[in-house]
């Protein structure tokens, strides 16, 4: 049991020394104000590429919806004519 405790203490010592070394090397930095303003401006306005992609995506969605509506109209017309022809055959029979 003492071996495990000694190993844990040695590991904690190594971790502590590593943490001290890294705290000296890794310090927070302040970004340049121009960089922050540029990023904020791009976030607010969006880029032209994003707008173009959105327009293309919307165009595909509109085309898909129109094709679906036309397909539905043709399907309903076929079903309606079929029902009408069946009803006429029953009347004449």
* DSSP state at residue 21: H
Give the integer Cα–Cα distance in Å for 69 and 75.
10
Please give the model's pTM, rounded to 2 decimal places: 0.41
Residue with tokens 């310090």: 27
Reported as a single tens digit per residue, the pLDDT across 2-18 is 777 777 777 888 888 88
Quick check: is 68 in a domain? yes
Total domain count for the chain?
A: 1
Give the integer Cα–Cα distance in Å for 86 and 74.
18
Quick check: is 32 in a domain? no
Quick check: is 41 in a domain? no
- Residue 79 domain boundaries: 2-25+47-92
Regions of the chain where pLDDT drops below 50: none
Quick check: is 36 in a domain? no
């Amino acid at each position: 049991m003492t071996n495990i405790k000694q190993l844990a203490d040695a590991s904690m010592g190594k971790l502590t020394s590593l943490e001290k070394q890294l705290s000296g090397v890794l310090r927070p930095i302040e970004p340049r104000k121009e960089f922050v303003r540029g990023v904020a401006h791009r976030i607010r306005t969006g880029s032209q590429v994003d707008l173009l992609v959105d327009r293309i995506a919307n165009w595909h969605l509109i085309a898909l919806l129109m094709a679906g509506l036309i397909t539905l109209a043709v399907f309903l017309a076929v079903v309606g004519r079929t029902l009408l022809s069946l009803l006429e055959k029953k009347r004449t029979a």
